[in-house]
Structure 1
């Protein structure tokens, strides 16, 4: 949020943030409290409804979270009924959106893998890339649907995970049992950390450049589809989505981050 808001304030993105929503409440966790302070510093409207508190309040009902979820989503929609955003961005939001939420707002979700890459958490993605001995990593923005990490792809970026910075790490792993390495070293594995950095440093630029593409009309989101400027589905490209590698490389170079 800081990355995008600062560029809005600098006139680098023709957009504004209408509101920020969190499924945590003030005082629930140190990390989210710090985020709320950041939102407040920008004078942005903050709306919160704790999903954890809601579940506890309904614990006596005997209903599962799946059964309670539609009511929780309905309450969230009521909380947000005064806002009319053109697009919403899910970032660090760990609840899978249900059908009612997906149909109410066009939601952009960040997933730390290429369009044809692994699904799941970023940790799972990296381990799968290592298992496959992949040559590239990346991230994508897709429309949020009820199907985890598999909504229509809007945009993506990629980065190599071979070459001088990686070859020694791949070589060191070649003769080892991956499951034993994962159990003994876990995320401290140097190759794991390097792959994460290669992808993670591009994430905020992917969000920014995707929002810029939407603001400029190069990407349209209509009726659950991601379309190009001509109104053709981006799903028809191979791989699907708008590749933003060039735009991200230029932006990172301008920031001295390349």
Structure 2
């Protein structure tokens, strides 16, 4: 039985949708021999409407919910004298994050977990937690592709006139979005659905630079929105298929490396493009 620890900040609909998709895939047997042993949320009940809705979903699934507010913890540390100053600010930030991680690990000590999934977890995990836990994270880009938030990734794709995009699941390391990839899938940014939108963008760029298009249109830009919809259509199947592959032993995490069923180190990740195709497992309105 693959035991899963689920980490989220529960800040939006996508966080709720992702938990529901994986939970239902476990119940249906699409992800075999697995269970979500607990859900950890970095916001307390009553802290925000969105995270309260997330907690309601967890409760409806009768899953253990552990909450510990990172915002409250940071505020309390400041009151105890860890005021952020210009000089040494980076060190102080590292201190409270390290101490927060340690308290999280203490609170989760009773659970025996094989795999920890970061799913909309809005904190950078420190070195100690990365060493102790096998943590995986969803990133909306191919291995070696753009870093940062999904918004930043898409704008980089536009800036680079990228011909393809995708998503990956990677091992979490203290270096943001740079851990070894477990799995990935790719999709084309060319063809009849995309070409007219690229042509429209090029016309706009003849008049003003991309940063002005970004400032003026933001996420309403049609090409931006098209790429985001395609990413979402890949991300949910990718995480379900990845956890399923781990549960079946097709791949495994050993000594912070991704290995095949034969124990060979898997370089560059497991390509799941064919398995996932272009299907969407959930209708999400954005």
Shorter-chain TM band: over 0.9
Instruction: Give the match for residue 215 of structure 2.
Output: 183
The residue aligned with 1:19 is 38
Aligned-residue offset at 1:256? 9.2
Aligned to 1:234, the other structure's residue is in SS state coil
CA distance in 2, matches of 1:186, 1:74: 38
**Where does 1:155-174 land on structure 2 (aligned, <5 Å)?**
155-174=183-202
Alignment match, 1:150: 178
Which of structure 1's runs of 4+ aligned residues deviate more than 6 A?
Answer: none
Distance 1:256 1:30, change over 3 A: closer
Q: Give the structure 2 partner of residue 215 of structure 1.
A: 247
Contact 1:55 1:65 in 2 (8 A): no
Residue 45 in 1 paired to residue 64 in 2? yes
Residue in 1 aligned with 2:12? none
Q: 2:269 pairs with 241, 247, 253, which one?
A: 241
Structure 1 regions of 5+ residues with no counterpart? none
Partner residue, 2:48: 29
Which has the higher relative contact order, 1 or 2, with Cα contacts under 8 A spaced 6 or more apart? Answer: 2
1:139 aligns with 2:167: yes
What residue number does 2:76 align with?
Answer: 57
What TM-score does the superposition give when structure 1 sets the normalisation length?
0.94
Distance in 2 (alpha carbons) for counterparts of 1:70 and 1:256: 36
CA–CA distance in structure 2, aligned partners of residues 28 and 86 of structure 1: 30
Aligned residues: 251
Per the TM alignment, residue 3 of structure 1 is displaced from its structure 2 partner at its CA by 0.2
SS of corresponding position for 2:97: helix
Is 1:195–2:227 an aligned residue pair? Answer: yes
- Displacement, 1:113? 0.3
Match 1:10 to one of 3, 11, 28: 28
Task: Name stretches of at least 5 consecutive residues in structure 2 with no aligned partner.
Answer: 1-18, 84-91
Distance 2:116 2:82 in 1: 33
2:46–2:52 Cα contact (<8 Å) kept:
yes
